[in-house]
Amino acid sequence: MKFAWHRKPTVKGVFFDDFSQGIRGDVWRALNEKWASQNNNGYAEENCLFTTDEGEVAKAGGTGGIVAIRSEGDFAPEGRQRRGGGIVTKRLFGAGLYEVRMKVAPRAGQCSAAWTYFNDWAKEYAARRYSEIDIEMPHGGDWRKFSGTTYENYLDGAHKNSVSETVNCPPLNDGNWHVFAFEWRTDRENGDEGVVWYLDGEPVLVLKDAVPKYSATFWVASLFQDAIAWLGDPQFETAYLYIDWVRITEYCDPVLEGSAEKESMLPYTGINRKGALPENEYLADADFSRPPRRNNFKGREIVSWRTESAEIGEGKLVLRAGGSARQRVTSQYGGFSFEVSAEIESGDAEIFLACYRGAANCEEPKLFFLGNSEALALRGAEKKKTVLRIPKGETEHIEFVVHSGGGAVLRRCSLKLVSKKKGGNGE
């Protein structure tokens, strides 16, 4: 789409942080709290990690430093299920261009988001002062969609002034860097009032209703909402969102003064990894150390490994002749490539990816089988890995499948996405 404002904005100033000094306590706060409005285990400082190691940052295609925000899904240990993390500025900003270069947390069930926020918590809708603009994804558990939302005011679901639309795009969980942005204008006198969303520098959505008018803090986080139809089901162990840099180009457009959250003076600044960043492992219980069946955050039974003629326990997957174990990984698409590895102790086995399509943003997905990828063959006692590619086409979900014709014992498996580009998009 093409878009242009009537009048070019006048720049008031530019805030930029590439985290080359980590998460600075005078600039950012790492989330370490639990919100009454959300049915989850809140946010933990230990889920906000960063590195300034030049070699590791360069290897990841970043600049300066990199922040890694961990999400813990329903296969995480009890007490940590549905626990996220994030960062928020201590300073407030008005109208302007808000940009963040990041890799989304690539699993359905959590929300990778960037947003502005101010709320004075007045009890009556007419008296409340409020300001919020959102980038949220995935939409409907599908990483080929994200939503843009504005709130001029909000008290509850029945009392709000808000608009929201969904953007269709290529899969955002492709393992590459993307620049997500929105441009907020409040120059009503010249007809420039609204919000424009950008993906990798291209305008993709314009909303001109419910435009906020108060300055606000800026947030980047991975969080959990009790909404399978919106985000999907968080059937994973851990997933990481990576932030390379944040830039806010503030304009001279008129804006009313908001205020920072009461938690803004909290001292949390995240955890310095002092080296390599954690990687996204797509398998839960990859080392077979825990029972495959457990209860999720809401008490519903879920299963990591579905087995046939096989047992899991004491750090082993034991397959009898003709036995198999499989684990579903939703919202992965045609054209994606994965590094598959395994450690076999004895016997023979093969590993492949089964491909499916269908809606999975529900408790019991109904999927349609499309075919299998090539296979990794294992025999005897060895460690082995290869890259398996999902053929381009209709694939929307995969299953990691281990099968043995004559019986086998495996110690560990792994599934990691291979990025299409080393450096990714943006600067």
Whether the per-residue pLDDT at 19 is higher than 60: the answer is yes
Q: Could you tell me if 252 and 9 are in contact, meaning their C-beta atoms sit under 8 angstroms apart?
A: yes
Q: What is the pLDDT of residues 356-412, one digit of tens each?
A: 999 999 988 899 999 999 999 999 999 999 999 999 999 999 999 999 999 999 999
**Predicted pLDDT of residue 196:** 98
Please give the average per-residue pLDDT across 220-249, as a whole number: 97
Q: What is the pLDDT of residues 394-408, one digit of tens each?
A: 999 999 999 999 999
Q: What is the pLDDT of residues 152-192, one digit of tens each?
A: 999 999 999 999 999 999 999 999 999 999 999 999 999 99
Whether the per-residue pLDDT at 66 is higher than 50: the answer is yes
**Predicted pLDDT of residue 419:** 85
Whether the per-residue pLDDT at 425 is higher than 60: the answer is no
Percent of the chain exceeding pLDDT 70 equals 98
CA distance 177 to 419: 9
Domain residue spans of the chain: 11-272, 293-418
Q: What's the predicted TM-score (pTM) here?
A: 0.96
CA distance 139 to 78: 27
162 contacts: CB under 8 Å, gap ≥ 6 = 149, 150, 151, 152, 154, 210
Give the residue carrying structure tokens 């990576």.
242
Please give the average per-residue pLDDT across 58-72, as a whole number: 97
Mean pLDDT taken over the chain:
96
Q: What is the pLDDT of residues 108-161, one digit of tens each?
A: 999 999 999 999 999 999 999 999 999 999 999 999 999 999 999 999 999 999
CA distance 35 to 205: 30
Fold of 11-272: Jelly Rolls (2.60.120)
Whether the per-residue pLDDT at 198 is higher than 70: the answer is yes
CA distance 203 to 215: 23
Whether the per-residue pLDDT at 61 is higher than 70: the answer is yes
> Fold identical between 11-272 and 293-418?
yes
Binned at pLDDT 50, 70 and 90, residue 427 comes out as very low
Please give the average per-residue pLDDT across 29-55, as a whole number: 96
Whether the per-residue pLDDT at 424 is higher than 60: the answer is no
Whether the per-residue pLDDT at 90 is higher than 60: the answer is yes
**Predicted pLDDT of residue 421:** 58
Higher-confidence position of 289 and 426: 289
Higher-confidence position of 128 and 420: 128
End-to-end CA distance of the chain: 22
Fold of 293-418: Jelly Rolls (2.60.120)
CA distance 137 to 325: 31
Whether the per-residue pLDDT at 258 is higher than 80: the answer is yes
**Paired strand residues for 9:** none
